[in-house]
Structure formats: structure tokens, C-alpha cells
Structure 1
Amino acid sequence: MINTVAWFEIATDDPQGAEKFYGELFGWSFATDEGSAKNGMDYRLVGYPGGDGPKGGLYATGGGSPNHAVFSVVVADTGAACERVESLGGQVVFKLLENPNGPDFAYVRDTSGNLFGLFTPPHLRGTRE
């Protein structure tokens, strides 16, 4: 699964409205992500009817960042992937490495300015691509 799209995120300043919209549109359910809550974030995991686990999340921004929807790619090493992004002319917008309560992750921009995410699940930390 390395280097594949494995997650999506919807960030909004109206999480209840987004839950209602996507819940009614697709039948999605939402549950608090306890690891994110420990970091002081309101992040909710998206569940699907008949799905085997969350493949996305809803981030309640509280107005602290722009609303967006973004895909994320699982990588073996988020820090190294961020370095590659920059070496290829992209930009690292935010990164959290050695996250004790969840995956290492980063938001980056490609050379056209498109935002996307990178993440390394805790069980993959230390592996090589």
C-alpha cells in the first residue's frame, strides 16, 4: 500500500453540517478519533455502510484553517517524502513527525499549488520505500 492514496480528509468550520450532508448523501457515520482528541484536535473518523474501517476523516477546524477536501498518500517515511517534495519544487505546508498519538503526517503542495497529504502509520515507521 506504500505510495498509494489511502486516506481523505474533509476540513470544515461546520462539522455538524458536514456530518449531516455526507451522512445523508452517502450513509457515512462519524466517530471521534481518540488519538487526535489527546492532541486537542476535533477529528472524526468516517465509517461506511458495510466498510471494514475508516478510510477518511472530518477535521473540525474551528475556523483556524481554510475549508478543504484533500487526498492523502501513505508513505514509508513522511520526513523523507517531505524532503523529496521540496527537491522536486513542491512545498511543505505543515508536518508532524514522531506523533505519539497517531500517524506522522504532512500537508504539501505540488508544483501547481495543489494541496495533498502524506502520512506514515505508526506500524510503518522505520521501514524504507
Structure 2
Amino acid sequence: MATVPYNSVGWFEIGTDRPEETKRFYGELFDWTFSIGADGEPAYSEITAPGASEVSGGVFASGGAFPDYAIFYVVVEDVAASVARAEALGGKVIVPPTTAEGGLVFAQLHDSAGHHFGVFTPPAV
């Protein structure tokens, strides 16, 4: 993943209980290509746009565990601090700060108007 400035969109994700259909649709619509992520997790396919040198998003096979979604993630310096600030501004936590295997830290929230978004801090290199 390219280094992007803090407080800018650095990733997007589509969560679906129909991952193959979703990949077919967006693949045909935008010529996106899909591959299993570096961590080898088969439920997560990374997305690369035509002409892009790096992956910019992913499709998560939810298995129907929760409603389908499409969200963007903003790169932040401190996920817990960003979540606390969002709550102070009227946001609601959906997924609390979570550290994934490999060190990526993320959270998902609703903004004060109910829109779903996420924040993350990449693993230290």
C-alpha cells in the first residue's frame, strides 16, 4: 500500500455475502482485478484498478454474518484517538479499535448523520 497522508482516504472495502458475483460485477464494470491478499486469507480479495501500481481496496466475503456494505477507510495517526474524537462529535462505534494480524489497527464507525466509514493505521514498518 502506498504511503498516503494522514486524514485522507487510503482504502475502501466491499463486504458481501455474494463475493463472486460482486467481483464479477465490479470486474466487468471497472476492469478491476482481484487477488488473495498477502496474508493468504481466502475470505478477502484485494482489488487493483487498471493502470494502478498498487492495491487500493478489498472485497470481504462476509458469509452473511452481517448486512452487505461498501465503505471507505481514512488513514489516521491514532485509531483510538480518532474513535474518541468521532464519538465526541456524535459518531457511533460499530467495530471498536481492533489490531489485525500483522499490526494493522482499524475501527468502523457511523458519522453523526449515520454514514458508515472506517479509520486505520497501517502496521509499523
TM (norm. structure 1) is 0.86
| 2:61 match | 60
Give the conservation status (yes or no) of the 8 Å contact 1:72–1:117.
Answer: yes
The whole-number CA distance in structure 2 between the counterparts of 1:32 and 1:104 is: 20
The whole-number CA distance in structure 2 between the counterparts of 1:94 and 1:36 is: 23
Greater helix share, 1 or 2? 1
| 1:18 match | 22
Gaps of 5+ in 1: 125-129
Distance apart, 1:99 and its partner CA: 2.6
TM (norm. structure 2) is 0.89
Distance apart, 1:100 and its partner CA: 2.9
The whole-number CA distance in structure 2 between the counterparts of 1:71 and 1:80 is: 18
Q: Deviations over 1:75-115 (max 9, x none)?
A: 01111111111111111110343333251111101111111
Gaps of 5+ in 2: none
Q: Deviations over 1:11-49 (max 9, x none)?
A: 111000011101111111111124372xxx711110112
* Root mean square deviation, CA, Å: 1.7
Q: Does 1:87 align with 2:91?
A: no
- The residue type equivalent to 1:4 in the other structure is S
Instruction: Return structure 1 stretches of 4+ with deviation > 4 angstroms.
Output: none
The whole-number CA distance in structure 1 between the counterparts of 2:79 and 2:45 is: 22
Identity of aligned residues (%): 41
